[in-house]
Amino acid sequence: MSATDAPVQSSPTRPAKPPVSWKLLAGGALFVLISWWAGSGRFGVGFSAPELLSGFERGQRILEDLLNPRWQAWRGLIGPFIETLRIAVLAALIGCSAAFGMALLTSRVSAPGLRSFLAGKAVLNVVRSIPDLLYAMVFVAVFSIGPLAGIVALILFNIGVVGKLTSETIDGIDTGPLEAAQAAGASHTQVIRTSVVPSVLPNYVAYSLYAFELNLRASLVVGFVGAGGIGQVLFVALNGFRYDVVSLIVICIFVIVFLVESVSIALRRRLV
């Protein structure tokens, strides 16, 4: 505080410093508490340095195997990888198409009526809340082991992801053109086709690309529960304690995802 400030005759009184929000403090305390509980050895996951160290020590031998991938086995992986690709492609095509319809239904802007909107939103929320692998597990029980289970599972997964993202985009569009279409006497479907679809199409395509990426990563592992693809080979290798094969598969998965993701990101950037 500078002492040379000339006091002004009618200087306003300084406001009191606002107290720190008690909500923030309470939230912070709660956070620390939960974290301590969740991480503790007794009630939680046991996240501590000694645990980690002893864990890694126990896994020494396995680690060695993991670091020596069995390169010769790559030929056997080609077929399963192609199956993985098929699952991803089909699920993306069918799932993203259905997702668009779902998105139209669950956006305030484009929903045909209140009841269908609420019903659609409820369904979409449930569909979204189920993890992709859980779908795979369930559909393996329905269709028995094989890629069909994986495809159906990922279709539903796609609908959840792309549906929600597209629906939020539709919520955010400029409603001016919609009003113009209505003022010209257009029906509801016509309004959507001429005013909503062109406005959200680039975003929708970007989301679908993103979903395809997610699909590929998911389809790599759905085989683990029997839904086809490379995951199945992974499962067999793991059960046979063939960590060298596991290592090879992991490396291949890694490379593929990395490549697909780079391409997808580049494509998406040019879209939106």
Q: How far apart are CA 20 and CA 28, in angstroms?
A: 12
Q: Are 258 and 171 in contact (CB under 8 A)?
A: no
Nearest to 148 by CA among 71, 87, 104: 87
User: Rounded to the nearest 5 degrees, what angle is found at the Cα of 185, between the Cα atoms of 182 and 188?
Assistant: 60
Q: How far is CA 114 from the centre of its chain?
A: 28
50 binds another protein (CB under 8 A): no
112 binds another protein (CB under 8 A): no
Q: Which residues 169-198 are close enough to bind another protein by CB under 8 A? A: 174, 176-177, 179-187, 189-190, 193-195, 198
* Helix count and strand count (H, E) for the chain: 12, 0
140 binds another protein (CB under 8 A): yes
| Residue of the chain from 29, 51, 108, 172 that contacts another protein (CB under 8 A) | 51
8 vs 268 by CB, closer to another protein: 268
Give me the helices (H) in 172-196, please: 176-183, 188-191
| Residue of the chain from 29, 30, 47, 172 that contacts another protein (CB under 8 A) | 47
45 binds another protein (CB under 8 A): yes
Which amino acid, 11? S
Cβ 10 to another protein shortest distance, Å: 27
12 binds another protein (CB under 8 A): no
Q: How far apart are CA 94 and CA 162, in angstroms?
A: 12
Which positions from 13 to 42 touch another protein by CB under 8 A, shown as an x/- string? -----x-xx--x---------xx-xxx---
Which positions from 68 to 87 touch another protein by CB under 8 A, shown as an x/- string? ---------------x-xxx
| Residue of the chain from 117, 119, 123, 143 that contacts another protein (CB under 8 A) | 143
In order of 9, 100, 106, the CA distances from 125 in angstroms are: 62, 15, 10
| Residue of the chain from 119, 137, 145, 236 that contacts another protein (CB under 8 A) | 137
Cβ 132 to another protein shortest distance, Å: 8
78 vs 142 by CB, closer to another protein: 142
Which positions from 239 to 268 touch another protein by CB under 8 A, shown as an x/- string? ----x--x---x--xxx-xx--xx------
**Total of residues contacting another protein (CB under 8 A):** 89
Q: Are 46 and 40 in contact (CB under 8 A)?
A: yes
Cβ 227 to another protein shortest distance, Å: 12
Quick one: tokens of 157? 């997964």
Radius of gyration of the chain (CA): 27
Quick one: tokens of 143? 């269709």
Q: How far apart are CA 152 and CA 156, in angstroms?
A: 7
71 vs 141 by CB, closer to another protein: 141
